[in-house]
A and B are shown apart, each in its own frame.
Chain A
Amino acid sequence: VLRKLFQRENKRHVRMVEKHLVLDGKRCVQCGICSFNCPINIDVRRHAWENEPIFNSRCLSCGECVMRCPRGVIKFERIHLPEDGRP
């Protein structure tokens, strides 16, 4: 029973975090095209500087930043969260 519960919970976590935005800071030149094109004004560029994925629940996953970045910095990637649910 416990294992089933654990598996179910684990699946839920995976679903929750499926396709988060992952940024490769080493490629980024901080031009700001991503932040400029974010429809809800997430400072995507700052995440690239800090090399931190975007876990912002407001992110629409619209893909504008992914598409517009001239250097391929941003990707949708599946991220597995640790059990406490925090990145």
Chain B
Amino acid sequence: MTRYVLIGSGVAAVAAAEGIRTADPDGSITIISNDPDGYYSRPGLAYLLTGEIDTQLLFPFRAQDFKRLNIHLRQAKALRIRPAEKSVEIHPAAVVAYDRLLLATGASARPLTMPGSGLQGVNKLDHLEDARRLIQLAGNARSAVVVGGGITALELVEGLIARRVTVHYILRGKRFWSNVLDESESEMIENRLRKEGVILHPQREIVEIQAKNERVGGVRLDNGEQIKCEIVAYAIGTAPRTDLAREAGILCDRGILVNETFHTNQAHIYAAGDAAQIFDPDAKKYLLDSLWSSARAQGFIAGQNMAGRSVIYQKPVSFNVTRLTGLAITIIGAVGSAENIGPVEIVRGDSESWREVPLANVAEQETEHLSVRLMVGEKQILGAVVMGAPELSAPLLTLIRDRVDITPIRDQLLTPSASIEKILLEFQRISTGV
């Protein structure tokens, strides 16, 4: 009987268990995780913060689901992998033997480093425990400072606003999420934030978090400005958890390096999800993704391969639909621009593939509540950012993923002030015959 050991309790690990069971109904599956809350919807933490759901709703699996998959959950911290002995040393003291091992250790928030970063009231949003602490803090707070770019930072802003805390939002750059969004898209989000009462501080950095009775009392910015606050919440990027892998001699770059079957360079050891940096044959480089759907797909395939199948991961077009500032935002494919080439900081709900700069013309449509940007290649649409028109996300995903020839509408799309929304929906109607 094969012994499968999965380190981590996120969606990649759970999907891996499902993948294993498609090929091996009998092997033993042990999930080792030191997160006391086990498997829950990490993206759902945003909605817990806004008060849209209760904590118990964050757990998609019930006890019978783990029983059905015959998973043994072990709450413990993995200390060391011993590849030569095919075992994992854990705390509380024990050694767990494996035949196949999966590292689904996820990614953690990059910590703040300025003086005062260790004070009580400084918070990230990695775990359910962080969300609980933030909710508790927000109950007694008047003001908060949020720092970072990308989806998690905005989720922090919106969660705190929903809890009636005044939010100061510190942006290191000129504008919000500048390496994925263009200027007008950032502006749209920023305007909506201002309407919600958020005070934005672009091109600023916190130089010190000040204490009051050993807790957060305020921050000082690089221009000398002081802001009183009781909470500092940060989401300045994530880093794959690679310590265990590195120590075991597994090849790592920014993440744990794996091929398209999720094998690491060590026999019988696999990695998937936010921790893994996967070889992309199209881009000819190893890329990071921090998307729930990618983690699930990767875990499932890794699990199948661990159980003896030979499944190759075809990296799907990177795609995310989320709601920010009340707007449905869809990002698909390559939407980068040449001005943003440089070191990449990945955040949650993010994909490095989005920063690829396609050889394309840009088609844009913009109104007060709608923004569509298409990267139009010679015959295909290569990437898209849509704000405020969720009905466009499905047809656009199909057009981009299936590399549909858009020659019949290419000129129309690129006509200045074209109604891109209408053109696309009409094209979809004709193509599908609906």
Contacts and interface: CB of A to CB of B under 8 A. Distances in A.
A29 B323 contact: no
B44 A31 contact: yes
Count chain A CB atoms within 10 A of each CB in B46, B52, B316, B321 and give the residue with the most. B321
Nearest to A46: B60
B43 A29 contact: yes
A26 B319 contact: yes
A56 B432 CA distance: 28
Interface in A61-82: 68, 70-72
A32 B393 contact: no
A68 B47 CA distance: 11
Contacts of A36: 52-54, 57
B41 A31 contact: yes
A49 B60 contact: yes
Interface residues of B, number: 24
Contacts of B47: 31, 33, 70
A31 B394 contact: no
A36 B410 CA distance: 43
Contact of A72 (B42, B54, B292, B321): B321
A71 B292 CA distance: 12
A30 B47 CA distance: 11
A20 interface: no
Contacts, number: 61
A24 interface: yes
Q: Chain B interface secondary structure, helix, strand, loop or mixed?
A: mixed
A32 B41 contact: yes
A46 B53 CA distance: 16
A27 B292 CA distance: 9
B390 A72 contact: yes
Given A31-B47, A32-B41, A72 B57 contact: no
Contacts of A72: 321, 328, 390, 393-394
Given A49-B60, A70-B323, A72-B321, A30 B11 contact: yes
A8 to B, nearest CB: 24
Nearest to B434: A78
Interface string A9-49: 00000000000000010111111110110000000011001
B53 A33 contact: yes
B322 A71 contact: yes
B287 interface: no
Interface string B322-338: 11000010000000000
Contact of B58 (A26, A27, A32, A70): A32
A71 B321 contact: yes
A71 B291 CA distance: 13
B293 interface: yes
B328 A32 contact: no
B111 to A, nearest CB: 25
A28 B43 CA distance: 10
Interface in B1-48: 11, 41-44, 46-47
Contact of B323 (A24, A30, A45, A71): A71
A39 B328 CA distance: 24
Contacts of A32: 41, 44, 53, 57-58, 60
B44 A29 contact: yes
Interface in B303-344: 316, 319, 321-323, 328
15 contacts: A26-B319, A29-B41, A29-B42, A30-B11, A31-B46, A31-B53, A31-B57, A32-B57, A33-B52, A33-B53, A35-B57, A70-B328, A71-B322, A72-B393, A72-B394
Given A27-B319, A71-B322, A71-B328, 20 more contacts: A24-B394, A26-B293, A29-B41, A29-B42, A29-B43, A29-B292, A30-B43, A30-B60, A31-B53, A32-B44, A32-B57, A32-B58, A32-B60, A33-B44, A33-B47, A33-B57, A36-B52, A72-B390, A72-B393, A72-B394
Interface of B: 11, 41-44, 46-47, 52-54, 57-58, 60, 292-293, 316, 319, 321-323, 328, 390, 393-394
Enumerate the 9 nearest inter-chain pairs by beta-carbon distance, A residue then B residue, closest first: A31-B44, A32-B57, A29-B43, A70-B323, A30-B60, A72-B390, A30-B41, A29-B292, A71-B321
